[in-house]
């Protein structure tokens, strides 16, 4: 019996769906997910779970079965940027800044880059580039699938690799991020164009043979300015580090090739450990790409298991590796293999629709048709920098005895679900049923005008006027730059209660170490990542403490 090879359209749909499925299945088990439950079980279905969130104030957030994290959010952001045209500008100036309103689980490098974009500049163009050029995480690797889909009807591997690098450098500057992204894109592209049955171990061999394509040095004609800045500010020889990273990846691919020959006796945990999935580099872009290639190679005939294994590899970056393995397995097998219970993944129809738009000959015209249909069905749309959205519902969760966090559910015209949050103290009027997306306009930048934000109802305007009578927040560093300023550590009584309920502060950490971190934050401009390494604590803990370091005028 011959095996039916899916069409390219089915492959692309399968890749997009399986990316979100792996993300949703693995997110509750990811070490940094802040899952309240510490007794996760291996299951075949999506689960509801509770996440301990510290934004905008500490609260417990219910994550519904099948809901995805930043991996899929950013994949959709890249897809919309490509559909909009001039994708680099749209991604940096609109998608990334707006993502801060609804992000779920974003890593430190990605969040820092998005905040920089919101302020109107890219990190590599700033005066503080050290953290950027050390950012080798998988935050770029996980989002590049739309570039592969958009290039399906052409065959220009150099052009594809160039787009992937351009995408990566918006947020990450280390070779591990670039090469992880290009290697993963190369593997996806190969499976997209594969018209015969994939032989066991074939994908690994092909990626090794393609190292001169995905591992090629950056073109100085295209990236000359960026490379000059990198050489001056990265703190290492960029070209040497690039070659070292590529050579290490090839050796790891050869290790995978040898391991696959063991067949049924092959131990997944042993191989994933050898690939650094459980070590300090478990969140690196190259590690995620290599792990995904291994899993797709071994489980090509059993895609469901190929996603499930990484999603429940506790201690690894479960959501991203499962998402990327899903991308490869979906690109190989299409959609027919997807279990019925996995079709409950968040925004299933949106993922299909986005894929079809990426494959359309005229993406903008195709999108206009979809938007016109959505408008005809509902007239309660509000304008945002990334398109129109409509309010769906809201709910509130307590923040101790001091107030509530209002979580609002929104949906854009292509069907993507987004959740925004706002804190309301107990002494302020509560308007839980009044949508607020856009009610807090961003600081004026060159990215987009305030007119792009939703217009407020009369009730909202009254609420904002009442809120404006509240004491203003402490001025930011940017506001104080022209004046003499000093940093202070300010902790109020209700914030003490928040900290005592924070699981990070229940772990063994001495008061002396906390005080040293506070002193370092007051006296230096060190990044959270650097301080976390120096004092051997989690980055999240440094970020929590940093919230209470205020800048005041002398």
Residue 317 marked as a ligand binder: yes
Per the document, the length of the chain is 554
| Mean pLDDT in residue range 383-391 | 92
Residues with Cβ within 8 Å of 397's Cβ and at least 6 positions away in sequence, in order, are: 59, 60, 61, 62, 404, 405, 407
436 has a pLDDT exceeding 70: no
Q: Beta strands 485-489 and 387-399: pairing type?
A: unpaired
Say what the pLDDT of residue 493 is: 56
Confidence bin at 378 (pLDDT 50/70/90): low
What are phi and psi for residue 412, nearest 5 degrees?
-90, 180
Name all domains of the chain by residue range, CATH numbers in brackets. Answer: 8-359 (1.10.4080.10), 370-468 (no CATH), 477-553 (no CATH)
Name the DSSP class of 383. Answer: E
pLDDT at residue 481, rounded to an integer: 35
Nearest Cα to 116, choosing from 172, 55, 180, 182?
172
CB 403 within 8 A of CB 425: yes
The verdict on whether residue 468 carries a ligand-binding annotation is no
**Rounded to whole angstroms, what are the CA distances from 58 to 21, 446, 447, 487, 501?**
28, 32, 30, 24, 8
In this prediction, residue 448 carries a pLDDT of: 29
pLDDT tens digits for 159-174? 999 999 999 999 999 9
268 annotated binding-site participant? no
pLDDT digits (tens, 9 = 90+) for 282-328: 999 999 999 999 999 999 999 999 999 999 999 999 999 999 999 99
In percent, how much of the chain has pLDDT > 90? 64
| 35/318 Cα distance (integer angstroms) | 13
- Does the annotation place 320 within a ligand binding site? yes
Cα separation of 458 and 462, whole Å? Answer: 6
**Which H or E element spans position 50?**
strand 49-53
Per-residue model confidence as pLDDT tens digits over 231-241: 999 999 999 99
pLDDT in the model for residue 271? 96
CA distance 553 to 481: 10
CA-based nearest residue to 551, from 493, 487, 492: 487
Half-sphere exposure of 541 toward its Cβ, with a 13 Å CA cutoff? 24
Query: Which residues, in sequence order, are bridge partners of residue 552?
Result: 486
> pLDDT confidence of 492, banded at 50, 70, 90?
low
347 is in an annotated binding site: no
Place of tokens 């307590």: 398
Confidence of residue 500 (pLDDT cuts 50, 70, 90): low
Are the C-beta atoms of residues 501 and 400 closer than 8 Å to each other? Answer: yes
70-84 and 363-377 helices cross at what angle (nearest 10)?
110
CA proximity to 338, closest of 8, 15, 3: 15
69 annotated to a ligand binding site: yes
**Helix (H/G/I), strand (E/B), else coil: 35:** strand
∠ CA 540-541-547, rounded to 5°: 90
- The least confident of 176-190, 366-380, 423-437, 450-464 is 450-464
pLDDT band at 21 (very low <50, low <70, confident <90, very high): very high
What is the pLDDT confidence band of residue 429, given thresholds at 50, 70 and 90? Answer: low
CA-nearest of 269, 271, 256 to 314 is 269
User: 261 falls in which pLDDT band (50, 70, 90)?
Assistant: very high
Rounded distance between C-alpha atoms, residue 124 and residue 138, angstroms? 18
Helices (H), 46-138: 70-84, 87-90, 96-99, 108-118, 130-133
What Rg, from alpha-carbon coordinates, does the chain have?
23
Burial zone of 468 (CB within 10 Å; 0-12 exposed, 13-18 middle, 19+ buried): exposed
Inter-axis angle of helices 175-193 and 202-209, nearest 10: 120
Give the residue carrying structure tokens 């790891």: 252
> Apex CA 432: angle with CA 426 and CA 438, to 5°?
105
59, 150, 541 from 502: Cα distances, Å: 10, 43, 10
pLDDT, tens digit (0-9, with 9 covering 90-100), for 138-150:
999 999 999 999 9
User: What pLDDT shows up at residue 476?
Assistant: 34
Distance CA 91, CA 78 (A): 7
Mean pLDDT taken over the chain:
85
pLDDT tens, 437-454? 644 433 332 222 333 334
**Of 216-230, 394-408, 478-492, minimum mean pLDDT range:** 478-492
Q: How confident is the model at residue 506 (pLDDT cuts 50, 70, 90)?
A: low
């Amino acid at each position: 019996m011959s095996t039916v090879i899916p069409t390219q359209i089915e492959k692309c749909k399968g890749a997009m769906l399986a990316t979100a499925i792996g993300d949703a299945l693995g997110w509750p088990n990811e070490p940094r997910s802040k899952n309240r439950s510490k007794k996760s079980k291996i299951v075949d279905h999506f689960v509801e779970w509770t996440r301990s969130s510290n934004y905008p104030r500490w609260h417990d957030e219910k994550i519904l079965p099948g809901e995805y994290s930043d991996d899929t959010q950013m994949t959709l952001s890249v897809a919309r940027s490509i559909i909009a045209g001039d994708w680099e500008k749209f991604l940096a100036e609109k998608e990334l800044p707006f993502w801060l309103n609804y992000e779920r689980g974003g890593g430190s490098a990605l969040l820092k880059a998005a905040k920089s974009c919101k302020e109107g500049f890219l990190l590599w163009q700033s005066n503080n580039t050290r953290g950027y050029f050390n950012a080798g995480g998988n935050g770029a690797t996980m989002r590049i699938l739309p570039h592969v889909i958009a290039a399906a009807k052409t065959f220009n591997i150099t052009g594809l690799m160039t787009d992937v690098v351009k995408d990566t450098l918006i947020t990450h500057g280390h070779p591990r991020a670039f090469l992880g992204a290009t290697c993963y894109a190369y593997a996806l592209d190969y499976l997209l164009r594969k018209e015969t049955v994939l032989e066991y171990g074939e994908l690994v061999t092909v990626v090794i043979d393609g190292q001169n394509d995905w591992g090629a040095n950056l073109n100085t004609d295209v990236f000359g300015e960026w490379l000059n800045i990198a050489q001056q500010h990265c703190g290492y020889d960029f070209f040497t580090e690039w070659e070292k990273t590529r050579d290490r990846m090839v050796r790891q691919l050869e290790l995978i090739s040898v391991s696959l020959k063991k067949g049924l006796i092959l131990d997944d945990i042993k191989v994933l450990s050898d690939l650094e999935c459980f070590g300090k580099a478990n969140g690196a872009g190259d590690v995620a790409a290599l792990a995904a290639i291994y899993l797709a190679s071994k489980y090509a005939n059993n895609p469901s298991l190929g996603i499930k294994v990484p999603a429940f590899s506790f201690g690894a970056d479960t959501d991203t590796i499962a998402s990327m393995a899903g991308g490869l397995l979906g690109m190989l097998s299409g959609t027919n293999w997807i279990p019925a219970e996995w079709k409950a993944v968040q925004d299933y129809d949106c993922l299909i629709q986005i894929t079809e738009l990426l494959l359309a000959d005229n993406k903008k015209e195709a999108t206009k048709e979809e938007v016109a249909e959505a408008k005809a069905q509902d007239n309660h749309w509000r304008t945002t920098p990334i398109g129109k959205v409509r309010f769906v519902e809201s709910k509130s969760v307590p923040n101790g005895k001091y107030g509530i966090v209002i979580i609002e559910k929104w949906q854009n015209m292509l069907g993507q679900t987004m959740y925004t949050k706002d804190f309301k103290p107990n002494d302020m009027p509560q308007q839980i049923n009044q949508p607020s997306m856009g009610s807090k306009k961003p600081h004026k930048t060159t990215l987009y005008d305030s007119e792009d934000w939703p217009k407020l109802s009369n009730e909202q305007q009254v609420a904002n006027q009442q809120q404006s009578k509240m004491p203003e927040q402490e001025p930011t560093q940017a506001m104080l730059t022209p004046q003499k300023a000093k940093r202070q550590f300010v902790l109020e009584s209700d914030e003490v209660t928040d900290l005592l309920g924070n699981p990070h502060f229940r772990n063994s950490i001495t008061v002396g170490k906390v005080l040293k971190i506070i002193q370092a934050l007051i006296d230096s401009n060190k990044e959270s990542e650097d301080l976390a390494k120096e004092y051997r604590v989690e980055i999240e803990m440094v970020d929590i403490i940093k919230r209470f370091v205020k800048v005041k005028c002398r």
